[in-house]
Structure 1
Amino acid sequence: MEKRRTPLAKQAGSTKTGAPPSRVSYVVGQLDRLLKRSLIDVLGEFGLTLPQFTALSVISASGAMTNAKLAERSFITPQSANEVVKTMEANGWVGRVGHPTHGRLIHLFLTDEGRRVLQECDSAIDALEASMLDGVTEIPVDTLRKVLQRCVSNLRG
């Protein structure tokens, strides 16, 4: 007879106090709020907002793109993306260049200064993640990442 695997969400027993464990969704929500607050603090040290960091990361990962594509990939409205881009351009982090074959399209690209500030932020966020994961020994971090990515995928449908 094959043993059925119990989903991780149902494996947890009661806590040391006898109370039922926190729901996974509650713990993930707590982590989301704390991580967002910590990211805002860390990025603020470099003069960036979270939407600006996200936009720089998206452009870095995907290459030059239009404002509309940046908005789509950054999960913000085109109007918000326009405001984010204006500030980043004023700070010298991004530039604009016309599309080589389509005269009306303008592509955004990272400047050298944008790459530099993104690299500094990435290093600071690496330190934040290391602090967050301190003492996590039950499962490898790669396994945790895969489980969380699966959860995201499941909810996206």
Structure 2
Amino acid sequence: MINLPKQSAGGYKAHDIKYQGPYMSSRNGKQPGLAFLLKRAQHSFRTRVDDRLRPLKLTAPQFAVLAAVHADAGISNAALARLAFVTPQSMQGILAGLERARLLTRSPDPRHGRILRSTLTEKGRKLFQEARLRVDEVERLIYDSVGAENVALFGDMLARCADGLAPR
């Protein structure tokens, strides 16, 4: 259960909310659990990204695909699914939509005919550049929130959390 105080004009802050329940409280029950705060930050980031990409008619997973193909032309569908945090089946739908919009092309790998390699079209490169600027604006909010002096440490801590939680 979350006990919310009366909302101020600036909205709720993490320290304003009293958390109860095994997955939302820290071990001492006096502060939010780290997993809950991590998910809350991820959700806030995703919401902001979606809001900024909507005028471009892009979703966050579509942007992730454009970014990955921009960085690694020819990347496989399976690798794209892993990078965009979606299933291979969902990736097929995303890629088909991007291909219909003429943002990327897919062609068979010369060595493995069943593997399709994706590359951005000129239209896809232009849209990616505009979308990248919009996502950068949202990411800047994170930098501002943690402070320039803490960005490297914060990034290291997040990477350590991801590594510690990865299946072994």
Identity of aligned residues (%): 28
Describe how 1:100-115 pairs up with structure 2 within 5 A: 100-115=110-125
Structure 2 unaligned spans of 5+: 1-14, 17-28
Match of residue 38 from structure 2: 28
1:80 equivalent in structure 2: 90
> Partner letter of residue 127 of structure 2?
V
Deviations 1:119-148 (A, max 9, x none): 211111111122233253384212211111
Offset at residue 71 of structure 1 (A): 2.2
* Bigger shift: residues 134-143 or 117-126: 134-143
Aligned in 2, Cα 1:148/1:105: closer, same or farther, shift over 3 Å?
A: closer
- Alignment-derived partner of residue 42 in structure 1: 52
Confirm or deny that 1:155 pairs with 2:140.
no
Going from structure 1 to structure 2, the CA distance change for 1:136 and 1:30 (only over 3 Å counts) comes to same
Partner of 2:144, secondary structure, is: coil
- Taking the aligned partners of 1:30 and 1:22, their CA distance within structure 2 comes to 11
Question: Which of 94, 98, 101 lines up with 1:91 in the alignment?
Answer: 101
Root-mean-square deviation (CA), in Å? 2.3
Looking at structure 1, the residues matched to 109 and 138 of structure 2 have their Cα atoms a distance apart, in angstroms, of 38
Amino acid at match of 1:40: D
Deviations 1:35-86 (A, max 9, x none): 1111111111211011111111222223213323322333322221111011
Provide the residue aligned with 1:4 in structure 2: none
Letter in 1 for 2:56: F
Q: 1-side partners of 2:103 and 2:62: how far apart?
A: 10
Equivalent-residue separation in structure 1 for 2:101 and 2:148 (angstroms): 43
Which residue of 2 is the match for residue 6 of structure 1? none
